[in-house]
Amino acid sequence: MRVGTQTAITALLLVNGCVHASEQESATGFIEDSSLKLLNRNFYFNRDFRDASPGSQSYREEWAQGLLGFYRSGFTQGVIGLGVDAHVFAGVRLDGGPGRSKGKLLPVDSDGRPADGYSTAGAALKARISSTTLRYGELQPNAPVFATADSRLFPETATGLLLESHEVQGLNVQAGHFTAFKRREASGHDGDLLLYYGDGKVGSSIDFVGGDYALGKQLTLSLYASQFDDTWNQYYGGIKYLLPLSASSSFAVQANAYRTRDTGAAYQGRIDTTAYSIATTYTHGAHRFTLGYQKINGDTPFDYVGTGSIFLDNASNYSDFNGAHEASYQARYDLNLAALKLPGVTFSVRYVTGAGIDGTGADIDGGYVGQQGRGGKHWERDLDLKYVVQSGAAKDLSLRLRQATHRANASQGESDIDEVRLIAEYPLSIF
C-alpha cells in the first residue's frame, strides 16, 4: 500500500458530490477574518526515579516560563482563498541545571546543561476551495495515525502537507505527507521523524489518509491508514457512541483499534501487531465513572510516530500500557466541583494496571529487542486537579496540578517514578 497526497486528493474528489454550504463562500478577507492569540504558560516539571541505578540520573526538575503566539489569517475572497498561519514561541529557564534537566522543557547541551532560554517560529501557507483546505509548512496534525502533542512548555510541530475537507455534512476527511519533526524542547524545524519506542534508523516520511463521520449527535465512526517510510503500514478504526439516559445522565462507549505490519526495508524489524481498547463511561450530573480494557497482540510494543499518535484508552500520564502481549485495565473517576459551589474546579483520578508482557519474541535485528522481558507487569495512578478563573480581570487563567506514580517489575522495561507537573496558563485574544 502507498498512502500519499495524490491518493488523498482523489478520495476527496470522490466525496465531492454531496456538498453542503461552502466555507469559502463566507470568506470576508485575509485581514478581516484574521486572529492573534497569546498564551502565557508557566510549567514546573519534577520526576523522581525511584529505581535509578548508581551513577544514573535519579531526579529531573525544571521550571520555565513561555509565551506562545498564534496568528491565523483569514482567506482571500474568490473561488480559491489564500492565507497564512504563523506561530512564535519564546521560553525562559526559571530553574534547572546539570544533572536535573532533560525534562523536555528546555534544550540541553552535551554536558546536560539547560539553555537559559530558547525560541522558535514557524509558518504555513494555506489555500481553500469550497470547504477543502490544503496547508503546507509547520503544522500540528491531529490524526490517530499521526498527531503532534502539547504536553510540555511548547507543542510539537511537523513539517509537510495537510489536506482537510468538510464537503460532506458530518464527514471530516484528512490526508497528510510529513517529512520533518520539531520536538517539544527543540528550536529547529528539520529534525528526523520521532519514533517513540523503536531504536535505530528512522523513516524519512509518513503519509496518511482517513476521516471521521458523525451519524447524528450520538455515533461517530473513524477510519485511517498510514505508511511510515520503510517501517510499517498502520491502520486505525474507532467508534464513539453516546446514549443519553436523562437530562443529567448518559452512557458512552468508545473503542479504538490499530493494526501495524512492517513494510519495505523494515527499519524496525519484523512487526505484526494488533492493539485495541474499549472504554465505557457513565455520567451522572457532576460525576463521571470510566472503566477501560486494552490489549496488545504482537511480539513488539505498539509504537507510533511523535508523542501524540496514540488514541488507545489506557495510554496514561507516564506509561502507554502498550507492551508486547500486554493486557491492561483502567478505572477512572472525574468530578466537576461546580456542583459543590466551586465553579471552574475539576478533579480526576485514574488507576491503570497491566500484566502479561512478553517482549522476548521481538526480532533480534529490529528496534525493540531487549526492551521487555517475560512476565512484565506494572501500574500507574494519575491525579489531576484544575481551576479556571470564571470572571474578573484574571478570567480564563488556569492553574493545574498533575501527579503520577508508576511502579513496574524489571521485565516491564519502564522506570518506577513519582512525577509532579504544575502548569499555569493565561490566554489572551489580541484580535
Give pLDDT, residue 272: 98
Give pLDDT, residue 18: 46
Give pLDDT, residue 12: 47
pLDDT for residue 8 is more than 70: no
Give pLDDT, residue 122: 96
Instruction: Express as a percent the part of the chain with pLDDT over 90.
Output: 82
pLDDT for residue 186 is more than 90: no
Instruction: Express as a percent the part of the chain with pLDDT over 70.
Output: 94
Q: Name which residue leads in pLDDT, 43 or 116.
A: 43
Give pLDDT, residue 15: 47
pTM: 0.92
Give pLDDT, residue 344: 97
Give pLDDT, residue 101: 66
SS3 sequence, the chain?
A: CCCCHHHHHHHHHHCCCCCCCCCHHHCCCCCCCCEEEEEEEEEEEEEEECCCCCCCCCEEEEEEEEEEEEEECCCCCCCEEEEEEEEEEEEEEEECCCCCCCCCCCCECCCCCECCEEEEEEEEEEEEECCEEEEEEEECCEECCEECCCCCCCCCEEEEEEEEECCCCCEEEEEEEEEEEECCCCCCCCECCCECCCCCCCCCCEEEEEEEEEECCCEEEEEEEEEECCCEEEEEEEEEEEEECCCCEEEEEEEEEEEEEECCCCCCCCCEEEEEEEEEEEEECCEEEEEEEEEEECCCCCCCECCCCCCCCCCCCCCCCCCCCCEEEEEEEEEEHHHHCCCCEEEEEEEEEEEEEECCCCCCCCCCCCCCCEEEEEEEEEEEEEEECCCCCCCCCEEEEEEEEEEECCCCCCCCEEEEEEEEEEEEECC
Q: Tell me if 41 sits within 8 A of 415, measured CB to CB.
A: no
Q: Is domain 5-429 classified as CATH 2.60.40.2140?
A: no
> In the predicted model, what is the mean pLDDT of residues 118-133?
96
pLDDT for residue 196 is more than 80: yes
Residues 369-403: tens digit of each pLDDT: 999 999 999 999 999 999 999 999 999 999 999 99
Residues 215-231: tens digit of each pLDDT: 989 999 999 999 999 99
Residues 349-370: tens digit of each pLDDT: 999 999 999 999 999 999 999 9
Q: Name which residue leads in pLDDT, 51 or 282.
A: 282
Residues 402-413: tens digit of each pLDDT: 999 999 999 999
Give pLDDT, residue 5: 47
pLDDT for residue 144 is more than 60: yes
Residues 16-62: tens digit of each pLDDT: 444 456 888 888 889 999 999 999 999 999 999 988 777 677 888 99
- Average pLDDT over the chain, rounded to whole? 92
Q: pLDDT-based confidence at 120, cuts 50/70/90?
A: very high
Give pLDDT, residue 99: 67
pLDDT for residue 269 is more than 70: yes
- What residues act catalytically? 177, 230, 309
Residues 233-243: tens digit of each pLDDT: 999 999 999 99
> In the predicted model, what is the mean pLDDT of residues 200-225?
96
